[in-house]
A and B are shown apart, each in its own frame.
Chain A
Amino acid sequence: MDVSGAGQMTPSRRNFLKSLGVVTAAGLIAACTNDNGEAAGNGNGGGGSGNFPETPEWNFVFVNHVTTNPFFVPTVYGIEDAGAILGTTHQWTGSEGSDIGEMVNAMEAGIGGGADGIGIALVDLDAFNGPTDDALAAGIPVLGYNADAPNNRLAYIGQDLYGSGFEMGLRIVDLVGSGKVALFIATPGQLNIQPRIDGALDAIAESGADIEAVDIATGADLTEELNNVEAWYLGNQDATGMFAVDAGSTQAVGQVVRDQNARDNALVAAGGYDLLPETVELVADGVLDFTIDQQPYLQGFLPVVYMYLWKLSGGVVTPPETNTGLVFLDSVGAQLFLETESRFEGDAEEQKIVEPVG
């Protein structure tokens, strides 16, 4: 029986599929390695940037716990802008879903892969200490940003978490005076938000005001947070204050206050953290009394500058601990934010000078 041909795919189809696979893969690799090429500055061909000598295109690896969270979009813009001035490049990596193991792997890949500097959001008290020491031993500067932990990193650039919470607590006492106040937190215990709620609760307790403060967990994503805040409010409509210590919960508080007309009931004041677009609108409309800005743009921009100077000066210029801010944004400030879109806020990519409004 002649069954010649069994065991051969027709050559033309096989070759076509093979080449398709190779071309696609090659194209994707090329596209993503361009990703970093463009981040490097435009003026690094001849002498260095500004007064500086020519420097290699140093690569700074930033490890984050929620890489795709919109909060950090301005941070990445900050990293890019600083890199463009100084002629450095960067990688934004880590975990999408707060998986510490993934973050440790990313950090170690950076160390082994020849990173010239590492920025790490220190969302765990222990896991990053070993890799930080390894990096420092290998001569790689390590900076903590956005979240801090006691470890050997050269400096922390971000908000003073406990301090900001304490300030918010004082403001709560000021605005509310007395009654039942809820403090919402997305994921209790998480290192970049728990200190805030601790500070607020301490400030309220120390003030001696007649405030019954309760802390409520809301969850890790926006819809969950909204549902949980709403559920709490419906069961506690006598609340005089609702506040939150993270971006998602703050937005949820604002939405619930608006949708449930809480201010027609017992609610006297509400507020929270960070500048999600909806939150800013709610502050501008007076639904929320304030939101606290920690300037995520600077949390990307400054570490690049610090690492550059550290490398350039051979470690003589050491990065300073930097509090990127505790800015209470009220309705006037929120108006400014709404009327402008910029890289600093994360809602526009365009480079431009932002005119102050009013």
Chain B
Amino acid sequence: MTELEERETGGEAIEPPVSRSLLVRVGTYLLRRPESTVAIAALALAVYFTLANEFFLTAANIRVIANVLIPTAILATGQTMLLISGEIDLSQGAVYFMTPFLAHFAVEAGIPLPLAVMLALLGAGVIGLINGGITLAVGIPSFIVTLGMLLIVQGVTLNLSDGFPARAPSVGLDVDIFGGAPFSGLAWVILFVAFLHIVLTKTRWGVYTIAIGDNRLGAREAGVPAYRITMRNFIVAAMLAGFAGIIEGVRIGSFDPGAGGAAGLRVFMAVAAAVIGGTVLTGGYGTIIGAFLGALVLAVLQDGFNIMGVSAFTFGIVLGAAIIVAMVVNALASKARIRSQSVKL
């Protein structure tokens, strides 16, 4: 070898990389992804609960886990795009409860369900428009704007519904598609996750979103249409929240106005799912798949503890502690993973 090569390698001949099997290559690729640590956490929790309780891994309970997962996952995917672009939407929880009533009124007026859903989503989109409009045009933190909208929309929902749950449509293929059939909700989740993941990683919309979240001013100066993209994210977040509310309402057969702080808790869990999944609250970095996995972690925890008989008073302590532990382990494992990937010089 040359003198240069000899110095660099210390005299040893460099072996060409060994060709590895497909399985190993796929495995390594998956483990290298940032979402791997959350996935492993979710898996570990599932294993724990399976061992702790004989009913955890039954078909009936898996269905319950899916039902707990679905609304949070859909809310979280919408929230994640917005979080990455540096904003937050706290009104998602209230839009979740309001939108089904818009659909309900449309159906009562004789409009077929699919069209009624679209009209309702338009209404949800309007809330997103207002959120984005006030935040971006006036320059107030989205936290405050969407907090105010959370309260306003909650009030609107109570007024629209007279505080009374409304019966959801229950028969028909269109009902099956929008949450009636057993795993339709899950199908929608997968659709949204796949779509937004591709948007985030493969389209200009996604790249701009990340750029805006990382450095709004710099991005704008580089020609990124920051306001337009962020507005889009606000609208998507609100529409997804509305959609989640509709399919959940159809599933349980009742559109419920959610009096009593339920709206706040819903959006809180959505943000938690996004953060557990790896999205950074300050913006600029995030993952849609991570949001889904974060929602899965929360669903597994919630259902697991429920099925183990934890009562309401203790539930909060246990769930909160478990979330913190999951995040700590996740963070440590991430750091370990990043360091293991650093180049040894």
Contact = CB atoms under 8 A, between A and B. Distances in A.
A97 B54 CA distance: 30
A25 B68 CA distance: 22
Given A98-B262, A187-B163, A109 B311 contact: no
Contacts of B311: 32, 35-36, 90-93
B322 interface: yes
Nearest to B322: A25
A28 B68 CA distance: 22
Nearest to A194: B164
A90 B283 CA distance: 44
B342 A6 contact: yes
Given A3-B344, A32-B314, A187-B260, A97 B162 contact: no
Given A29-B52, A92-B311, A17 B252 contact: no
Contacts of A114: 54-55
Contacts of B329: 18, 21
B318 A32 contact: yes
A101 B254 CA distance: 9
A139 interface: no
B262 A91 contact: no
B189 interface: no
A335 interface: no
B60 interface: yes
Contacts of B344: 3, 6-7
Contacts of A67: 312-313
A190 interface: yes
A14 B332 contact: yes
Contact of B308 (A17, A33, A106, A194): A33
Contact of B55 (A18, A101, A113, A188): A113
Contact of A112 (B60, B162, B163, B259): B60
A87 to B, nearest CB: 16
B89 interface: no
A112 B64 contact: yes
A92 B313 contact: yes
Interface string A164-199: 000000000000000000000001111000100000
Nearest to A66: B260
Interface in B178-197: none
A327 B120 CA distance: 46
A303 B259 CA distance: 27
A108 B60 contact: yes
A173 B55 CA distance: 55
- Which residue among B52, B162, B254 has the maximum number of chain A CB atoms within 10 Å of its CB? B254
Interface stretch (A43-51, A126-134, A236-244): A126-134
B252 A3 contact: no
Contact of B265 (A18, A68, A96, A104): A96
B253 A127 contact: yes
A330 interface: no
A8 interface: yes
Interface in B293-345: 303, 305-315, 317-318, 321-322, 325, 328-329, 332, 335-336, 339-340, 342, 344-345
Nearest to B62: A112
B61 A190 contact: no
Given A17-B328, A36-B311, A95-B262, A126 B317 contact: no
Contacts of A8: 339
B340 A101 contact: no
A125 interface: yes
B70 to A, nearest CB: 10
A1 B322 CA distance: 42
B342 A28 contact: no
A284 interface: no
B321 A24 contact: yes
Interface in B152-172: 158, 161-165, 167-168
Given A1-B345, A32-B318, A111-B60, A126 B68 contact: no
A127 B256 contact: yes
Nearest to B263: A97
A113 B317 contact: no
Given A8-B339, A99-B265, A127-B254, A3 B345 contact: yes
Nearest to A5: B339
B335 A68 contact: no
Contacts of B2: none
Contact of B312 (A25, A89, A94, A188): A94
B114 interface: no
A188 B168 contact: no
B248 interface: yes
B53 interface: yes
A106 B325 CA distance: 24
Given A1-B345, A36-B309, A126-B167, A101 B314 contact: no
Contacts of B259: 97-98, 187, 190, 220
A220 B321 contact: no
A324 to B, nearest CB: 21
Interface in B102-128: none
B67 interface: yes
B32 to A, nearest CB: 14
Closest 4 CB pairs of A and B: A189-B164, A112-B60, A67-B312, A99-B262
Interface of B: 52-55, 58, 60-61, 63-64, 67-68, 71, 158, 161-165, 167-168, 248, 251-254, 256-262, 264-266, 303, 305-315, 317-318, 321-322, 325, 328-329, 332, 335-336, 339-340, 342, 344-345
6 contacts: A7-B339, A25-B325, A105-B303, A189-B161, A189-B163, A189-B257
Given A14-B332, A97-B261, A112-B60, 13 more contacts: A1-B345, A28-B321, A35-B310, A91-B311, A93-B306, A93-B315, A97-B258, A105-B67, A111-B60, A112-B63, A112-B307, A114-B54, A188-B162
